[in-house]
Amino acid sequence: MDFRVWAPSARRVVLHSGTRQIPMTADDQWWTAEDPHAGHGTDYGFSLDGADQVLPDPRSRRQPEGVHGRSRVYDHDRYTWGDGAWTGRQLAGSVIYELHVGTFTPSGTFDGAIERLPYLRDLGVDLIELLPVNTFNGEHNWGYDGVGWHAVQESYGGPDGLKRFVDAAHQAGIGVIIDAVYNHFGPSGAYTPQFGPYLSQGANTWGRSLNLDEADSGEVRRFIIDSALQWLRDYHCDGLRLDAVHALVDRGATHLLEALAVEVDALSAAVGRPLTLIAESDLNDARLITAREAGGYGLQAQWDDDVHHALHAMLTGERQGYYGDFGSAECFKTVWEQAFYHAGTWSTFRRRIHGRPVDRSRIPGYRFVVCLQNHDQIGNRAVGDRLTATLSPGLLRVGATLLLTSPFTPMLFMGEEFGARTPWQFFTSHPEPELAAAVGKGRREEFAEHGWSSEEVPDPQDPETFSRSHLDWAAQDPDLLQLYRRLIALRKTHEGLADPRLDQVHVVHDDGVLLIRRGDRTVVANLTQHPRTIPLGADCFLFTTDEAAVVQSDSLTLPAESAAIL
């Protein structure tokens, strides 16, 4: 078996394969060696310049002993796939369900999640978005501290476990999106930068930035693109959600994201199914999702936090931090019709002009992934409280109705649909005491700036913080669950509710009442605590969150905190 590793500055590299030590040969910055005794299941690593430490392979496909252990040879061809009839799932018209493998089920494994696939299929989910599943330090973590970008976390089930999950999801008619983090390495087990100039001189929120445009950046870019392609090709996944792409600093003529989009499009043509790239971006710039022939990067979609902020602030009344500019009915109208609220406008939170307008006649709404709740917006609250801890049952139903009748691609966060009350808190399991203490201290200091006492902020390293964040499947609101199922079904059967044309959305608001015209359908929401009668000239209900609603030939009377579709 041939082994290769990129180590451009090394003077000597030794392959440690099983119990054998084999000097490697330099070949234009790459080092190579052959071990005829190695194969699937062989443990191996590399030592650099005479050092005693054996490092894992930066491109390791498996880390059975964790991020600090040796790599293990893994042959993708040994898995027999059963999804031959799968033709993929396009983003347009889809509903996404975001979940964290470690807390979605009691077992916290891919196999445990497989058992819930019939439930997700009956809910109407089209695409499952998995929080990062590549290897990270410890047994449990959100996944954004990953260091092995080509390997699958062993505590979830390793590479075969992920393949079983994707295979089963496809056979259930559901696609799978992987959350991929390419903007930084985690704080422990990041041995990859010891092999070469993977990091730049710059830094971002999480540490050193990736070297995307400095000397020897070509192999770093290749490293990232190859990681992305393997999730789509070797694990049969249907898309990637690319974490915080605004932190990918690339001053080259062809941005990494554009280069990735080109290769993913080529792979899509080869495998004969749609492959979707979704960017998380703080830029409010539709250039990411503009076609390459029109000067854009050619990604299929991006997260749109402005929609979340508009909904959250309007429903909860919260105005702290980045919610300061949001919450008004006029703000809701702007984001529903134009996707972004900040589009070349003043951002009070940033204290500068932010964003650029979306050409709503050219860019369809489905290219914006939106939500009421997600892992960030819940987990980055001090106590990880969901909307069920804040909103009345009526407003929870109104929020679901607005989300699932929007012109955007709706995404649910695990348990949202049945009114989960378990928190989703920030948790880690770093075995290094110093790192564990630093993470907890940083978390407490961060929230102290916003008025939270240290006693209120859960310790990320406390095993109870992880345990509390598991879904409680026994504590469901069956009425809310049925409402979500009904709304998703209506979205899939009534063209006007899934119509992505932003220039066909028209919002009128008056004293706590929203009226949204969506093609041949009208969505009405009463956000007040009193019944309201709205002159509509409508004559039939398609759906209502409160059976006490009354429609007449010339008016609609909605109970307090309720919504209807006409």
> What positions carry a catalytic annotation?
243, 280
505 is in an annotated binding site: no
CA dihedral of residues 168, 169, 173, 178 (deg, nearest 10): -150
306 is in an annotated binding site: yes
CA atoms of 552 and 566, how far apart (whole Å):
11
551 is in an annotated binding site: no
CA dihedral of residues 50, 52, 56, 58 (deg, nearest 10): -30
Angle of helix 217-233 versus helix 256-271 axis, rounded to 10: 30
CA atoms of 275 and 544, how far apart (whole Å):
36
Residue 331: both structure tokens together: 């703000």
537 is in an annotated binding site: no
Kindly give the pairing relationship between strand 2-6 and strand 345-347: unpaired
243 is in an annotated binding site: yes
174 is in an annotated binding site: no
Residue 214 DSSP symbol: S
Residue from 379, 372, 385, 404 nearest 494 by CA: 404
Sequence-ordered list of residues with C-beta below 8 angstroms from that of 241, at least 6 positions apart, any chain: 129, 177, 178, 179, 180, 278, 279, 280, 303
496 is in an annotated binding site: no
Residue from 195, 148, 149, 143 nearest 8 by CA: 195
470 is in an annotated binding site: no
CA atoms of 188 and 135, how far apart (whole Å):
11
CA atoms of 85 and 548, how far apart (whole Å):
46
Angle of helix 329-338 versus helix 305-316 axis, rounded to 10: 160
CA atoms of 518 and 365, how far apart (whole Å):
12
Residue from 380, 456, 369 nearest 424 by CA: 380
242 is in an annotated binding site: yes
380 is in an annotated binding site: yes
Kindly give the pairing relationship between strand 368-371 and strand 301-303: parallel
Residue 323 DSSP symbol: G
CA distances from 132 to 101, 145, 147, 383 (A): 9, 9, 11, 22
312 is in an annotated binding site: no
378 is in an annotated binding site: yes
75 is in an annotated binding site: no
Kindly give the pairing relationship between strand 521-526 and strand 562-565: antiparallel
CA atoms of 54 and 42, how far apart (whole Å):
15
Q: Which amino acid is present at 529?
A: Q
376 is in an annotated binding site: yes
327 is in an annotated binding site: no
Sequence-ordered list of residues with C-beta below 8 angstroms from that of 60, at least 6 positions apart, any chain: 71, 72, 148, 150, 151
What residues form the annotated binding site?
241-246, 305-309, 375-380
State the binding site for substrate.
Answer: 241-246, 305-309, 375-380
